[in-house]
Each structure stands twice: as structure tokens, then as C-alpha cells.
């Protein structure tokens, strides 16, 4: 029970289905308690009020240490390595479907349930995850790294519902949070500026900014502040003999602390990527023709997946993809079935690899 409308309605639907339901509120972040950025106190109050309305008990558990060790430390490590992590994917694997599941079992629970917009089929030898009925809210992308076995005793009551219907039902039930705004962004950052948050944990390390031809363009503030395809925050403009076009992040060269930028959007596109730490939720044989998403809410993209010699995956797309980002995840699908996913390691950086061996003198 997060205090939001989705988990609240999920609890009601389970009760309506004949389950004996108890709520669990997870506290996953200790830093900044009581500040304007931390909503844990408000969230807990909302969860308690909902449980009182539904007439179910509410348990609380503090997984802050586990979150720090298994999610946040990885978040910092990835940024320091010049990659862009996705902590929401790791949170599902390490906390919601591991720590939460273990704690629920300790309390005597037979199943765990969440407010994820995902469908799950238990009438198959192993659980089958399917996209939600509400295509705009489907959250299978964030579940790709959860081990297959972890879904055996999981229920997703909202998988067949539209978000608009969930809000209406919450209103009809008299739940006070029926109009509560959906949470966005990374939970532990809240509404503060992302740059300000990162600066608290990662020291700024300015360096050169060059174009894909190796020409010096300016200075960056630290590679961790930038991600592939980024346009805002580069502060490049008015350069002599350069067209009045926007600049984009084309890549990073951590070994020489260099940010590569371009005005040619075609240089942001690639047809392949390398990925590692694959996790298969469905039984799959490689090579595999399927579809994939390299970011949340992206349309499915046709691709072929092959095994790489290092145990990772090589993924080639039928059409070029924009701003493939190392550190993010690629999710694989067969129609509406989530097959699994992997973490993106690298992409077509042939232009950048040539630069990696160069030194820049500002000319």
C-alpha cells in the first residue's frame, strides 16, 4: 500500500474476489525525512486512511538499508561510470518482488499483489506476463529484470482495467485519494532538481565537449549530468561557422572525460546494441525474432536477438533507434507477452571510438 490510488483499488478488488487482504507500507528511503522533497510521512498517512476505509490491517516495513545497498549504490556506480541507470527496474527486482515478498511470507501471506498495470497468467507451467489492457499505463517494461520464479505467487488486479476506470471506482468507494496525482520521476529524488541531487553524491568533474569530428565545442560540468539524445542543458550556442541548430548529446567517453555532441540528429540513431545480464521470464531460444522497447512507453520495435560470446546479447533492429542509452534496459516481447530483458551495455559508437584515442587541445 503506497498511499496511491492504484494499490488502494487493487486491495479492494482482491477483497471483492474473496481474498483475505492485509496491506504493507514499505519505507525505502531514509535521507531527507521531513523535508519538502520526502513524501513518506504523507504517503503513510494516506495508506492508513485507505486501509481504515477498506477495513483491513496495515503493516509497515523499513527496507531503506536494502534499497541503499542494492538499488541506490548501483545508481551511483552507473552514473560514475558514465552510464544512465534505471533504478525503477532494480527496485522491482530487489525490493518489491524480493524483500516485500519475503516479508509478506513471514507475515503468513500466500500471495503478494501490487498496483502495477500488468496482466499475469498462472494457467501456464510458468507465469506468463502480458501487457496491460490500458496501453498507456502498461508497466511490463519495469518488470523485465524480476526473476521468473518470483512471479509464482504474484497477483496484478489492475491488469485488465483502464486507469480512468480505476479512478472512478476509487471515487465510488469513497477513497479520499481517488484524485491523487500519479507519482513521476525517481522516488528518492522527488521534485528537486536532478542536478542538485546528483551533486550531493557525485563530485563534479568538468571536461571537454567535442563534436563527432573531434572539434572542441565547449566544456561540460561532469559526464553524470548528461544522457544520450539530451538537448537541454548543454549551453552551446553562437559558435562561428556553425548552423543555428540545436545540439544533442551523441555519447560519452569516460576514459578521457569527454562529452560528444552533434547537430546532426542522424548521428543519434543506431540499428544495434549490446546488452548483458539477460533475464528470461518466458522460455526462449536464440536467435530470436521478436519486438523490443529500449525505454518506457516506446512503441514495440522489430528486432533479432542473438547470443554474444561473452554471455550477453546482440540485438539488431529492423529500423534505426534514436538515442540508445547504456545503463538503461531493453525489454523483449512476443505480441503482448513479456519475454524478458537485459541491461544495455553499448551501441554503435564507431565514430566515438575513434575519438577515444585522441587528445584535444581546444582547436
Domain boundaries, the chain: 5-172, 194-266, 269-348
| Residue of 155, 136, 180, 146 lying closest to 281 (CA atoms) | 146
Tell me which residue has cell 538499488: 71
pTM reported for the whole predicted model: 0.93
d(CA 117, CA 130): 10
Same fold across 5-172 and 194-266: no
Q: What is the CATH number assigned to the segment(s) 194-266? A: 2.30.30.280
Instruction: Report whether CATH 3.40.50.620 matches the domain 5-172.
Output: yes
- pLDDT for 191 equals 64
- pLDDT for 124 equals 85
d(CA 56, CA 50): 9
Whether the pLDDT of residue 33 is over 60: the answer is no
Between 154 and 255, residue with greater pLDDT: 154
For residue 103, which phi and psi values (nearest 5 degrees)?
-65, -40
Instruction: Give the angle 16-22-23 at the CA atoms, nearest 5°.
Output: 110
Contacts with 253 (C-beta within 8 Å, 6 or more apart), sequence order = 82, 259, 260, 352, 355, 356
Q: Which CATH class is domain 269-348?
A: mainly beta
The 10s digit of each residue's pLDDT in 152-204 is 999 999 999 999 999 999 999 999 999 888 876 676 776 678 888 899 999 99
Q: What is the band of 35 on the pLDDT scale with cuts at 50, 70, 90?
A: low
- pLDDT for 351 equals 54
Whether the pLDDT of residue 31 is over 80: the answer is no
Whether the pLDDT of residue 216 is over 90: the answer is yes
3-state secondary structure of 107: coil
Mean pLDDT of the chain: 91
Grid cell for residue 4: 496511491
Grid cell for residue 122: 498462472
Sheet order of strands, 207-211 included: 216-220, 207-211, 258-262, 248-253
| Residue of 269, 180, 183 lying closest to 228 (CA atoms) | 269
- pLDDT for 352 equals 58
Whether the pLDDT of residue 284 is over 70: the answer is yes
Q: Which residues are catalytic?
A: 91, 187
Cis ω for the linkage preceding 287 (within 30 of 0): yes
Grid cell for residue 55: 477495513
Whether the pLDDT of residue 361 is over 50: the answer is no
The 10s digit of each residue's pLDDT in 66-122 is 999 999 999 999 999 999 999 999 999 999 999 999 999 999 999 999 999 999 999
Contacts with 140 (C-beta within 8 Å, 6 or more apart), sequence order = 118, 129, 130, 131, 132, 331, 333, 338
Averaged pLDDT for residues 213-238: 92
Amino acid at each position: 500500500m503506497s498511499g496511491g490510488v492504484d494499490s488502494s483499488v487493487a486491495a479492494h478488488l482482491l477483497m471483492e474476489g474473496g481474498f483475505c487482504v492485509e496491506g504493507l507500507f514499505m519505507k525505502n528511503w531514509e535521507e531527507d525525512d521531513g523535508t519538502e522533497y520526502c513524501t513518506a510521512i504523507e504517503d503513510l498517512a494516506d495508506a492508513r486512511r485507505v486501509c481504515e476505509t477498506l477495513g483491513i490491517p496495515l503493516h509497515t516495513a523499513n527496507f531503506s538499508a536494502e534499497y541503499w545497498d542494492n538499488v541506490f549504490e548501483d545508481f551511483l556506480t552507473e552514473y560514475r561510470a558514465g552510464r544512465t541507470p534505471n533504478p525503477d527496474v532494480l527496485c522491482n527486482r530487489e525490493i518489491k518482488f524480493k524483500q516485500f515478498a519475503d516479508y509478506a511470507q513471514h507475515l503468513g501471506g500466500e500471495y503478494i499483489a501490487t498496483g502495477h498495470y500488468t496482466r499475469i497468467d498462472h494457467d501456464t507451467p510458468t507465469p506468463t506476463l502480458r501487457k496491460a489492457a490500458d496501453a498507456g499505463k502498461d508497466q511490463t517494461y519495469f518488470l523485465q529484470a524480476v526473476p521468473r520464479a518470483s512471479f509464482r505467487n504474484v497477483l496484478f488486479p489492475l491488469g485488465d482495467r483502464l486507469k480512468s476506470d480505476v479512478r472512478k471506482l476509487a471515487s465510488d468507494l469513497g477513497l479520499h485519494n481517488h484524485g491523487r496525482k500519479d507519482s513521476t520521476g525517481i522516488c528518492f529524488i522527488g521534485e528537486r532538481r536532478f542536478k542538485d541531487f546528483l551533486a550531493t553524491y557525485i563530485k563534479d568533474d568538468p571536461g571537454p565537449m567535442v563534436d563527432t569530428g573531434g572539434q572542441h565545442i565547449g566544456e561540460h560540468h561532469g559526464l553524470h549530468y548528461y544522457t544520450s539524445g539530451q538537448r537541454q542543458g548543454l549551453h552551446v550556442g553562437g559558435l562561428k561557422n556553425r548552423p543555428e541548430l540545436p545540439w544533442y548529446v551523441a555519447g560519452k567517453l569516460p576514459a578521457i572525460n569527454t562529452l560528444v555532441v552533434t547537430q546532426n540528429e542522424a548521428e543519434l540513431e543506431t540499428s544495434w546494441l549490446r546488452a548483458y545480464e539477460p533475464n528470461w521470464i518466458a522460455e526462449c531460444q536464440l536467435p530470436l525474432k521478436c519486438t523490443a522497447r529500449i525505454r518506457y512507453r516506446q512503441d514495440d520495435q522489430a528486432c533479432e536477438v542473438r547470443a554474444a560470446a561473452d554471455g550477453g546479447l546482440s540485438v539488431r533492429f529492423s529500423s534505426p533507434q534514436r538515442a540508445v542509452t547504456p545503463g538503461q534496459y531493453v525489454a523483449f516481447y512476443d505480441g503482448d507477452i513479456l519475454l524478458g530483458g537485459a541491461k544495455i551495455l553499448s551501441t554503435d559508437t564507431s565514430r566515438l571510438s575513434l575519438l577515444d584515442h585522441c587528445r584535444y587541445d581546444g582547436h
